[in-house]
């Protein structure tokens, strides 16, 4: 099925199509108003370290739910969900190296898997748009610009890495509004970590995006504003090279039954 | 040393006296402006379950810091701290039963201990007082009223229990202000869970306080307002009866170097 066929479905309707392999595309812009989450699946023997990493770096890695060990169900974010089938594309990493992508991981599932659902800045973009704040990466039809910073995460067990940020150019008069809106959504990164001086956090060239983010236009009256990004958890997973991790593929996220408004 | 001798000390000065056994009293009202925390120490084999319990019940059990395994140091809340010596009184529980209290647990320390520091509503009371909102339990010189509720915590591994709440009678005209102030401090319980109708959360008699809380006067123009309470984690520890847990003794808390204003 194509994107335009599924645009107006509810989360549960869309997850059913994904479960049957009938929709395998990216989720951006689908199920408007509903929470989309990053997925990280790790074996139980490193789940404590990862949970502690998210606790110590909660603004970058806001955990919305952790499954029970071995369970493919959730309780808070969605009913009627199969974590092994309801995400359109999964990426499997061994020792930090991508080994393959899958539309279904039932065959790979293990009884010791723990799933982490991590909030995403998509959740606050809707409110920013409603407030008349432009989202340049939407206008230019690319993935939000993301950058590595020189800010070290607080390490936890085997996990370490630097914070990854997303950037949106904001008209300078609207910065207080953008700050206020996102600050009120602390469960999806909260307010900005840096406004206007990227060099201070180790970003010397705004063209040097990472994780597939686009390099967007910044207009004369605009200032680059940076928020911590959930991709920080994936960066830590890659640099810490655990034996096995499965994540969603960037852009192919879990769509929850919760609305973004419920994260305020 | 007596309370009046230590009232104006900084956190690090007071912790040094506690470390040497020269101050062994309660911490209420000391080091004004600084964060006081609940302490829970568990062996590593149940630390994942406990960390997950706090993640799933984050409003009641807001974790401010988790130590590294076996470490008696902290990184975020305080420098120059010895977790085994810098709390005036510790309580040791085996299978949910209090086995003893100690002023120093160096002799009991194990390499597999993990310490959880959990936020406390003391941190928002200062702002409420500054805003002219009366704290009846201060006026009546007793511990804040606490109650068991009929609201089940989200269980995690071996841990389960019901939410415990604290109550403050608030003049009805000041309720929006009290809501707004506490809602802005989500790292120490955030806004109220119930306003005005205790029966809805299973509290049928405001005299039935628990955990040593007082039953305070409610004046005619006041409404009882309930916040989730960090004691929820202790209630879960008692009802889940793990082999060994050490906590601070109620009222004898860890005093951090961070200021309450930093938790906003």
Is the confidence at residue B55, as pLDDT, over 90? yes
Cβ atoms of B142 and B194 within 8 Å: the answer is no
Q: How confident is the model at residue B4 (pLDDT cuts 50, 70, 90)?
A: confident
Of B51, B75, B154, the CB nearest to A55: B51
Q: Chain-wide mean pLDDT for chain A?
A: 94
Is the confidence at residue B5, as pLDDT, over 90? no
Chain A positions touching B56 (Cβ under 8 A) are 66
pLDDT in tens, B61-73: 999 999 999 999 9
Burial class for B45, CB neighbours closer than 10 Å (0-12, 13-18, 19+): exposed
Cβ atoms of A61 and A188 within 8 Å: the answer is no
How many whole angstroms separate alpha carbon A38 and alpha carbon A211? 14
Chain A residue with the nearest C-alpha to that of B54: A55
- Position B7 scores a pLDDT of 85
How many whole angstroms separate alpha carbon B24 and alpha carbon B104? 10
User: What are the tokens at A6?
Assistant: 């599924």
- Position A108 scores a pLDDT of 97
Is the confidence at residue A153, as pLDDT, over 90? yes
To the nearest whole Å, the CA of A207 is away from the closest chain B CA by 34
Name, in order, each residue with C-beta under 8 angstroms of A245's C-beta and a sequence gap of 6 or more. Answer: A40, A41, A42, A92, A93, A237
Find residue B85's DSSP bridge partners. none
CATH topology assigned to domain A3-121+241-263? PSTPO5379-like (3.40.1640)
* Residue contact B55–A75, C-beta within 8 A: no
Is the confidence at residue A135, as pLDDT, over 90? yes
Q: Helix (H, G, I), strand (E, B), or coil: what is residue A220? A: coil
- Position B187 scores a pLDDT of 86
| More confident position, B61 or B143 | B61
When scoring A43, A46, A48 by the number of chain B Cβ atoms within 10 A, the one with the most, hence best to mutate, is: A48
* Residue contact B55–A52, C-beta within 8 A: no
- Position A186 scores a pLDDT of 83
Rg (CA), chain B: 18
Q: How confident is the model at residue B121 (pLDDT cuts 50, 70, 90)?
A: confident
Cβ atoms of B68 and B47 within 8 Å: the answer is no
* Residue contact A76–B186, C-beta within 8 A: no
Cβ atoms of A65 and A74 within 8 Å: the answer is yes
Which CA distances in Å does B213 have to A46, B194, B230, B237?
40, 18, 13, 19
User: What are the tokens at B156?
Assistant: 């995690």
**Residue A95, CB half-sphere, CA atoms under 13 Å: how many?**
0
Is the confidence at residue B212, as pLDDT, over 90? no
Of B66, B75, B186, the CB nearest to A52: B66
pLDDT in tens, B164-206: 999 999 999 999 999 999 998 888 889 999 999 999 999 999 9
Is the confidence at residue A250, as pLDDT, over 90? no
CATH topology assigned to domain A122-234? PSTPO5379-like fold (3.30.2040)
How many whole angstroms separate alpha carbon A39 and alpha carbon A53? 15
Cα B119–B122–B125 angle (5° rounding)? 130
* Residue contact A52–B51, C-beta within 8 A: yes
Chain A positions touching B52 (Cβ under 8 A) are 51, 66
Give the residue extent of every domain in chain A: 3-121+241-263, 122-234
User: What are the tokens at B214?
Assistant: 């007082």
Containing A3, the helix (H) or strand (E) segment is: helix A3-6
User: What are the tokens at B36?
Assistant: 């006081």
How many beta carbons lie within 10 A of that of residue B244, not counting itself?
16
Count A/B contacts: CB-CB distance under 8 Å. 24
Cβ atoms of B34 and B11 within 8 Å: the answer is yes
Which CA distances in Å does B252 have to A125, A197, B36, B136?
44, 44, 9, 21
- Mean pLDDT across B60-88: 96
Q: Chain-wide mean pLDDT for chain B?
A: 94
* Residue contact B66–A76, C-beta within 8 A: no
Residue B42: which of B61, B70, B10, B78 has the closest Cα? B70
Chain B residue with the nearest C-alpha to that of A65: B56
How many whole angstroms separate alpha carbon B247 and alpha carbon B93? 8
Is the confidence at residue A1, as pLDDT, over 90? no
pLDDT in tens, B229-239: 998 998 999 88
Cβ atoms of B166 and B119 within 8 Å: the answer is no
Chain B positions touching A154 (Cβ under 8 A) are 75-76
- Position A64 scores a pLDDT of 96
- Position A255 scores a pLDDT of 96
> Percent of chain B beyond pLDDT 70?
100
Q: How confident is the model at residue B2 (pLDDT cuts 50, 70, 90)?
A: confident
- Position A31 scores a pLDDT of 94
Longest dimension (CA), chain B: 54
- Position B192 scores a pLDDT of 96
Sign of CA dihedral B243, B246, B250, B256: negative
Q: b vs e for B172-192, b when ≥16 Cβ sit within 10 Å of the residue's Cβ?
A: eebbeebbebbeebbbbbbbb
How many whole angstroms separate alpha carbon A158 and alpha carbon A53? 9
To the nearest whole Å, the CA of A48 is away from the closest chain B CA by 5
Q: How confident is the model at residue A3 (pLDDT cuts 50, 70, 90)?
A: confident
Of B48, B56, B66, the CB nearest to A47: B48
Residues of B with CB under 8 A from a CB of A: 47-48, 51-52, 55-56, 63, 66, 75-76, 154, 186
- Position B61 scores a pLDDT of 95
DSSP chain B: --HHHHTT--HHHHHHHHHTTS--S--TTSSTTEEEEEEEEEEGGGHHHHHHHHHHTTTTS-EEEEPPTT----SSS-SS--TTTSSS-EEEEETTEEEEEES--GGG--TTEEEEEE--THHHHHHHHHTT---HHHHTTSPPPEEEEEEEPPPBTTB--EEEEEEEEEEGGGHHHHHHHHHT-GGGT-S-SEES-GGGGT---TT---TT-------TTEEEEEEE-THHHHHHHHHH--S-EEEEPTT-PEEEEEEGGGG-
Cβ atoms of B189 and B130 within 8 Å: the answer is no
Burial class for B88, CB neighbours closer than 10 Å (0-12, 13-18, 19+): buried
How many whole angstroms separate alpha carbon A230 and alpha carbon A228? 7
pLDDT in tens, B213-250: 889 999 999 999 999 999 899 899 988 999 999 999 98
How many whole angstroms separate alpha carbon A168 and alpha carbon A146? 10
Residue recorded with tokens 């319990």: B53
Q: How confident is the model at residue A213 (pLDDT cuts 50, 70, 90)?
A: confident
Chain B residue with the nearest C-alpha to that of A186: B186
Of B47, B52, B66, the CB nearest to A66: B52
Cα A234–A236–A238 angle (5° rounding)? 70
The domain covering B3-120+241-263 belongs, at the CATH homologous superfamily level, to PSTPO5379-like (3.40.1640.10)
Region B124-234: CATH code: 3.30.2040.10
Chain B residue with the nearest C-alpha to that of A57: B65
- Position B57 scores a pLDDT of 96
Residue recorded with tokens 């004691």: B231
**Residue B80, CB half-sphere, CA atoms under 13 Å: how many?**
12
To the nearest whole Å, the CA of B203 is away from the closest chain A CA by 26
pLDDT in tens, A29-77: 899 999 999 999 999 999 999 999 999 999 999 999 999 999 999 999 9
């Amino acid at each position: 099925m194509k994107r335009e066929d599924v645009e107006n479905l509810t989360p549960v309707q869309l997850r059913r199509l994904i479960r049957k392999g009938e929709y395998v595309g990216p989720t951006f812009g689908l199920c408007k108003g509903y929470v989309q989450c990053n997925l990280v699946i790790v074996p139980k023997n490193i789940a404590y370290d990862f949970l502690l990493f998210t606790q110590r770096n909660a603004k970058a890695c806001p955990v919305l739910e952790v499954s029970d060990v071995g369970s493919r169900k959730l309780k808070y974010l969605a009913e009627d969900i199969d974590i092994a089938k309801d995400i359109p594309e999964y990426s499997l990493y061994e020792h930090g190296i991508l080994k393959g992508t899958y539309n279904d991981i039932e065959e790979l599932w293990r009884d010791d898997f723990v799933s982490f659902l991590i909030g995403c800045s998509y959740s606050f973009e809707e409110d920013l748009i409603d407030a008349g704040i432009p989202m340049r990466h939407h206008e230019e039809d690319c993935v939000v610009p993301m950058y590595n910073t020189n800010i070290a995460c607080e390490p936890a067990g085997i996990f370490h890495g630097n914070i990854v940020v997303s950037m949106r150019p904001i008209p300078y008069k609207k910065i207080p509004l953008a700050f206020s809106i996102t600050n009120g959504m602390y469960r999806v990164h909260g307010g900005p970590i840096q406004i206007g001086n990227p060099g201070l956090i180790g970003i010397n060239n705004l063209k040097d995006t990472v994780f597939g983010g686009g390099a967007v236009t910044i207009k004369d009256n605009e200032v680059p504003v940076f928020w911590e990004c959930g991709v920080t958890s994936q960066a830590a997973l890659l640099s810490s090279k655990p034996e096995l991790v499965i994540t969603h593929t960037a852009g192919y996220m879990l769509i929850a039954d919760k609305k973004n408004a419920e994260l305020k």
